[in-house]
């Protein structure tokens, strides 16, 4: 018996980020075994217009995007970045506003 389908093969990681002032730059890599298409991005519960939406990231491929996050964020506070794929998989990464990782 198998379960999970494509979602099990999808694996995204946030390799690095830089969140200073009003700009967030992230580097996302596909470390799974299938191409991943990003459906939506959330930061601290707020939907974002990050430029990742509808982008296909090939196996071992990476992409880097910068945008001004929508929502109210406090410097030094932690927020969760969630990347949702076309298959419904969710990948989360903790980020600190005003910091880099």
**Could you read off the pLDDT of 11-50 as tens digits, one per residue?**
999 999 999 878 999 999 999 999 999 999 999 999 999 9
**Could you read off the pLDDT of 37-92 as tens digits, one per residue?**
999 999 999 999 999 999 999 999 999 999 999 999 999 999 999 999 999 999 99
Number of domains in the chain: 1
Within a domain: 1: no
Predicted pLDDT at 2: 45
Within a domain: 101: no
C-alpha distances (whole Å) from 44 to each of 15, 34, 67 are 19, 28, 15
Within a domain: 83: yes
pTM of the complete model: 0.88
pLDDT band at 98 (very low <50, low <70, confident <90, very high): confident
Tokens of 68: 């001004």
Contacts of 100 (CB under 8 A, 6+ apart): 16, 17, 18, 19, 20
Within a domain: 48: yes
Q: Which single residue is written with the structure tokens 């998989």?
A: 89
Which CATH number covers residue 61?
2.60.40.1930
Tokens of 82: 């969630």
pLDDT band at 1 (very low <50, low <70, confident <90, very high): very low
């Amino acid at each position: 018996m198998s379960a999970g389908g494509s979602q099990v093969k999808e694996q995204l990681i946030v390799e690095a980020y830089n969140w200073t002032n009003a700009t967030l730059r992230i580097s996302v890599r596909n470390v799974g075994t299938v191409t991943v298409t990003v459906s939506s991005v959330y930061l601290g519960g707020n939907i974002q217009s990050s430029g990742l939406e509808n982008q296909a990231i090939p196996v071992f491929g990476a992409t880097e995007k910068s945008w001004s996050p929508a929502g109210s964020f406090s410097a030094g506070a932690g927020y969760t970045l969630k990347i949702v794929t076309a298959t419904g998989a969710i990948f989360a990464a903790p980020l600190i506003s005003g910091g880099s990782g």
